[in-house]
Structure 1
Amino acid sequence: MRIARYSLPWRRMKAPAPVPQRDRAAFSTEERDRFETQAELLNETLQMANYSAVTHLAVVFALAYMFWDSASRLYLVGLMATISLIIAATLGTTWYYRNTFRSEVTETAVQRGSWISKALALALGLTWATMPAILIPPADGGHRMVAVAVTAGLISDAYVVGPFFSVAFLLAAPIVVGGFIGLAGCDAPFGAYVSVLLVIYALFIWFSVRRMSLLSYQRIWQRVVMQHQGETIGLLLNDFEEGASDWLWETDPDGRLRQVPARMAATLSRDPASLQGESLLAILADTGQPDHATALRTAMAMREPFHEQAVRVSGAHGTRWWNLNGKPAFDRYGGFLGYRGVGSDITVSREAQARIAFLAGHDTLTGLPNRDAFQDAIQAVYHGGEHPETPTALLCLDLDGFKAVNDSRGHAAGDLLLARVAGRLVRLTEGRARNFRLGGDEFAILYPGAGPEAAEHLARQVIAEIRRPYQIGVSLLEVGVSIGIAHAPRDAQDPAALLGRADLALYSAKAAGKGCWCSFDVSLEDRGFRQRQLDADMRLALRSGEIALHYQPLVDLRSERVVGLEALLRWNKPGEGWISPTEIITIAESTGFIIEIGRWALRRACLDARSWPGLRVAVNISSIHVRRLDFHDEVAAILAETGLAPEGLEIEITESVLLDRESEVLTNLKRLRALGVRIALDDFGTGYSSLSYLTDFPFDKVKVDRSFVRDLQVRPEKIAVIEAIVTMARALAMDVTVEGVETRQQEAVLRHKQCGTAQGFLYSPARPAAEIRDLVRRLDTRKASVA
């Protein structure tokens, strides 16, 4: 007779052949459950037999080695041989039955296996029983302790074969008897004492193993019963199929459908009768998408269950998606009956998931893959390792002038502009590179197989293409682009480093004037390290007083007297010397530390200016600082704290402050003017130089950059520019200061063109505050001494 295969722990092995009908009725329900329980008990015993056998083999050889010089060698050799034979028989029996049970489990096989297990246990027990009887009486103290310990250990082996109590008893009982015999031959009182302990230990083993055997039987019995009840409940679910949202499907052993619910057939736009008897796998294979059914076919070929398997099918109304759950069904005797499972039409949810997945990996505005998709793509470049198989160029793009367009034309126009930019990138790189939108006006291009020349050629193409005007509504808008390039694996050994180095190259391109590209080299990383180090050091330097303000005099060209001073940042870094103010300001603006520097400079300059009555002090303020809503309040608080009159302070700003025409900037400047603080436009002529700035806000002064003074005598066009600026400023009631005056000839030309004030090395470089009083006195008396 055969037992139902699904109830046994070897149920994942090869399926047995179908069982004849006459055998299926041989068991009642109770007999079937009891028999399957016996089979499970035998299986657990067989599972532990290999470990126990190896242990016995190791013990007998160790024992023979220990007693080789103190006991009969003939007996020891015989003991090793006998134990080895029994162990070999045990291992062979275990191997045979486990292989037998893979094909079928019969009542005869289970009964025979039980009797063989008992016989082997008895043989092993009788053989080991001779050991204490022979070795304990003549042994000395140490060897006697070893023999007693081995005897106790062998008795405890009953726990290993505990699932079958009779097997455990037949193994342990002869060893206990042999122990008593051996102890009886020992000198009093040792033998008597140990015998009493042996009785206690044997009784403990007896009751413990018996209890464990009963618990094992109950555990397996309950598992078998509950499994059969679960199968019965599963069958009852068929009655509820018509009222469920999903459907139940069933195949015969050959995989042909034999239960086709109307809802299942409706998804294929077919009649249920036409699907009856058709192969389920054939239906899936007909879709032209065999890859979607591979896992399902593999599971059914191995007769394994499958769960939540999504497969694509084709119906009269297009492609549909099914979600299938199934498990192989066996009769109670192990015969394969086919598959039973639950199916559902998940087409709507599948399409929704596909849409969600697309949106998760793509930018909704431009349709380009987004930052998450970019991170996956850049990880794939390295294939989880350090050396990409294909060299890849990464181009990081940042639009130039987009914020001004976005703010002046509105976000709707800005969004259209970004979409047009993305379209041009796609057309330009189609078939050779992938484009991504990282956020805002930042884009990236991954260019597989591109060397430096190819990447740089693409960068030039992108710059030229993005620069062309865009027709957005009635407006013609223009933006530029800066590009940083890094190569894998040449420039980086991991994705994070590759992106970081492309960003460094992008920052370098921005610093070089925008609208250009820059490839990464090691010097950029060194520069980045220096910037990080200087950023940390300058914070300490500001607190410790290493950073100071030096002052450069502003001289009235008519009276040749000092009328004011410009505060300039200076840092004499220990061990390195003077750090360029441009480098300091660039780093501080990138980190936001420039605001703290600006507050400190305003307070320091106002304190110093109190020592120079009649002289106005000018302080350069970063555009980042001026844009703060509380900037006016900060200046007013510093003036009140230091006691400097507002008329004694001049704030110098650059054109970039007004580039975005932010209302808070103009509000701050107007409130400062109303307070009495003068406002000067610095570096006029070097930036955008839009005259509309001068009409949006009436500055007190414009400062002409030193680039117009250099070569003044040999470049008449520069004289013309200065003359035009002076004329314009005079018409707008503004003063003019010219920077970078170094020679008397330059001073004479500027005086002739009626410029107001000048500053430069002709008069003095910037000097510490302690030297200013003497410097002003010397400059003011210079004219008198010359006269």
Structure 2
Amino acid sequence: MRRARHVRFLAEHDQLTRLPNGRLLRERISRALRGDRQSDGTLTLMVVDLDHFKAINESFGHETGDHLLVAVSGRLGELLRDGDFLARFEGDAFAILLSARHTDRKWVLSLADRFISSLCRPYIIGNQEVRIRASIGIAFLPDHGQGAEDLVHAAEIATLAAKSDGRSRWKVYEPGFNSELLNRQKIELLLRRALEEDRLQIVYQPQVRLADRTLIGGEALVRWDLEELQALPFEQLIAVAEDCGLIVDIGKRVLERACSDALAWPRGVVGVNVSPAQFIHEGLVETVEAALAASGLPADRLELEITEGVLMRHEEAAIADLQRLRALGIRIAVDDFGTGYSSLAYLKRLPVQKVKVDRSFIRDLPDGADDRKIVKAIIHLAEALGLDTIAEG
């Protein structure tokens, strides 16, 4: 009897987190539909999907990733009440079937906000700090279907919609999300085709020194030589590339092309954006070294642009990699400066040479009085630390 119970437990629970698995979740939903449905006739399911979890595994290793999943399950559990049902749904996703007392949808949405806030706090695993964010999809029965599979499917689709809309947020299922999913799948196929057929184009945004109007470099910007992709918003394409794991390969291709193109310039630095996934991907330094070696571009003519938010979320890991890159002679610029948690402490710790003032502070100049004050303060801060400044156009 004990062995039979153990076998059943293994069949219905995740071995890592010890939480119920997707199979038991569906059984629980079906049971609720048969007789335990909420007093107002509704069921509520949330799917919590970790953003960029694959990059965590690649950067820190699968053991750290496993510890992170256990820690995430603990934080989710801390916010639940008696009767709520938490399961490890699949891979890097969890599901919560809310108990009958949670009939107020405003309360449900506030719970989703608390999940997001709790999960984004740093985790200390071993001797390193790890950060992760999550996207949440929410679905209700009978609004979004009639059975367990309908509820699960709707919550999954809503999660994908949350990721498509920028991640680290929640979405309640809407029927139109189904067509959005099909559109994302089409975009992914087109991006893979563009990469396989080398249909990426690189254009360069000039960087000019205001004092004498001298051209001092250019920032590499990726474009796609496929008509179907050209009509789509750039942010949407990048979001899909990040979700499907293509962003690292795209970034590598852009880096290689930019180094090769810049070698033909008479002078000047070429700036290349480093995506969050690239930055925490194992082997970034080696990828940069290989691109420089293959092109022959001097290291001091390459400038890697990394957003302030990424540097802050991965500060400890950033220091080691940035120091290695600086040792090669590569320049480091803080992109979108002013939009994150800017501080003297982090600028002093990280080996950066330039800050790029975010365009949100530039577009209303010279009329915006507050923007003038902010930009002036950033320039003075950079000068005090011996850093260059550049305004994003």
Interval of TM-score (by shorter of Structure 1 and Structure 2): 0.7 to 0.9
Partner of 1:599: 252
Contact 2:251 2:278 in 1 (8 A): yes
1:458 aligns with 2:111: no
Q: Given the superposition, is the C-alpha separation of residues 497 and 650 from structure 1 closer, same or farther in structure 2, using an over 3 Å criterion?
A: farther
**Mapping of 1:506-521 within 5 angstroms?**
506-510=159-163, 512=165, 516-521=169-174
Q: Given the superposition, is the C-alpha separation of residues 640 and 443 from structure 1 closer, same or farther in structure 2, using an over 3 Å criterion?
A: closer
Q: Given the superposition, is the C-alpha separation of residues 575 and 395 from structure 1 closer, same or farther in structure 2, using an over 3 Å criterion?
A: closer
TM-superposed deviation, 1:677: 1.5
Q: Given the superposition, is the C-alpha separation of residues 414 and 717 from structure 1 closer, same or farther in structure 2, using an over 3 Å criterion?
A: farther
- Aligned residue for 2:156, secondary structure, equals helix
Partner of 2:127: none
One-letter amino acid of the structure 2 residue matched with residue 502 of structure 1: A
Partner of 2:37: none
Partner of 1:369: 20
Query: Quick one: which of 320, 327, 330 aligns to 1:674?
Result: 327
Q: Given the superposition, is the C-alpha separation of residues 692 and 414 from structure 1 closer, same or farther in structure 2, using an over 3 Å criterion?
A: farther
- Aligned residue for 1:624, secondary structure, equals helix
Distance 2:26 2:153 in 1: 13
TM-superposed deviation, 1:693: 3.2
Partner of 1:615: 268
Distance 1:365 1:536 in 2: 33
TM-superposed deviation, 1:582: 1.7
Contact 1:484 1:504 in 2 (8 A): yes
One-letter amino acid of the structure 2 residue matched with residue 419 of structure 1: G
TM-superposed deviation, 1:439: 6.7
Contact 1:460 1:517 in 2 (8 A): no
**Mapping of 1:484-503 within 5 angstroms?**
484-488=137-141, 490-492=143-145, 495-496=148-149, 498-503=151-156
- Aligned residue for 1:608, secondary structure, equals helix
The unaligned stretches of length 5 or more in structure 1 are 1-348, 384-389, 473-477, 741-787
Contact 1:702 1:737 in 2 (8 A): yes
One-letter amino acid of the structure 2 residue matched with residue 463 of structure 1: D
- Aligned residue for 1:426, secondary structure, equals coil
1:546 aligns with 2:199: yes
Contact 1:484 1:506 in 2 (8 A): yes
Distance 1:701 1:645 in 2: 19
Partner of 1:445: 96
Partner of 1:393: 44
1:426 aligns with 2:81: yes
- Aligned residue for 2:144, secondary structure, equals coil
Contact 2:164 2:236 in 1 (8 A): no
TM-superposed deviation, 1:712: 3.0
- Aligned residue for 2:176, secondary structure, equals helix
Q: Given the superposition, is the C-alpha separation of residues 435 and 602 from structure 1 closer, same or farther in structure 2, using an over 3 Å criterion?
A: closer
TM-superposed deviation, 1:682: 0.8
Distance 1:443 1:523 in 2: 24
TM-superposed deviation, 1:496: 4.8
Larger helix proportion of the pair: 1
One-letter amino acid of the structure 2 residue matched with residue 422 of structure 1: G
**Mapping of 1:506-655 within 5 angstroms?**
506-510=159-163, 512=165, 516-574=169-227, 577-655=230-308
- Aligned residue for 2:270, secondary structure, equals strand
TM-superposed deviation, 1:555: 0.9
Distance 2:161 2:101 in 1: 21
Structure (1 or 2) with the larger CA radius of gyration: 1
Distance 1:480 1:592 in 2: 16
Q: Given the superposition, is the C-alpha separation of residues 445 and 633 from structure 1 closer, same or farther in structure 2, using an over 3 Å criterion?
A: closer
- Aligned residue for 1:522, secondary structure, equals coil
Contact 1:554 1:562 in 2 (8 A): yes
- Aligned residue for 1:634, secondary structure, equals helix
Contact 1:366 1:422 in 2 (8 A): no
TM-superposed deviation, 1:562: 1.2
**Mapping of 1:11-410 within 5 angstroms?**
349-350=1-2, 353-354=4-5, 357-358=8-9, 361-362=12-13, 369-378=20-29, 391-398=42-49
Partner of 1:292: none
One-letter amino acid of the structure 2 residue matched with residue 542 of structure 1: L
- Aligned residue for 2:177, secondary structure, equals helix
One-letter amino acid of the structure 1 residue matched with residue 308 of structure 2: E
Q: Given the superposition, is the C-alpha separation of residues 603 and 481 from structure 1 closer, same or farther in structure 2, using an over 3 Å criterion?
A: closer
One-letter amino acid of the structure 1 residue matched with residue 277 of structure 2: I
TM-superposed deviation, 1:736: 0.8
TM-superposed deviation, 1:639: 1.7
- For residues 24-69 of structure 1, the C-alpha deviation after alignment (integer angstroms, 9 at most, x for no partner) is xxxxxxxxxxxxxxxxxxxxxxxxxxxxxxxxxxxxxxxxxxxxxx
TM-superposed deviation, 1:647: 1.8
- For residues 322-366 of structure 1, the C-alpha deviation after alignment (integer angstroms, 9 at most, x for no partner) is xxxxxxxxxxxxxxxxxxxxxxxxxxx44x644664565456898
TM-score by length of 1: 0.41
- For residues 305-327 of structure 1, the C-alpha deviation after alignment (integer angstroms, 9 at most, x for no partner) is xxxxxxxxxxxxxxxxxxxxxxx
Distance 1:468 1:581 in 2: 30
The Cα RMSD (Å) is 4.0
- Aligned residue for 2:282, secondary structure, equals coil
TM-superposed deviation, 1:460: 2.0
The unaligned stretches of length 5 or more in structure 2 are 35-40, 124-130
Contact 2:46 2:95 in 1 (8 A): yes
- For residues 396-421 of structure 1, the C-alpha deviation after alignment (integer angstroms, 9 at most, x for no partner) is 235799999xx9xx999996774364
Matched residues, number: 370
Contact 1:556 1:563 in 2 (8 A): yes
Task: Work out which structure has the larger RCO, using CA pairs closer than 8 Å and 6 or more positions apart in sequence.
Answer: 2
Larger strand proportion of the pair: 2
Contact 1:621 1:651 in 2 (8 A): yes
- Aligned residue for 2:159, secondary structure, equals helix
TM-score by length of 2: 0.78
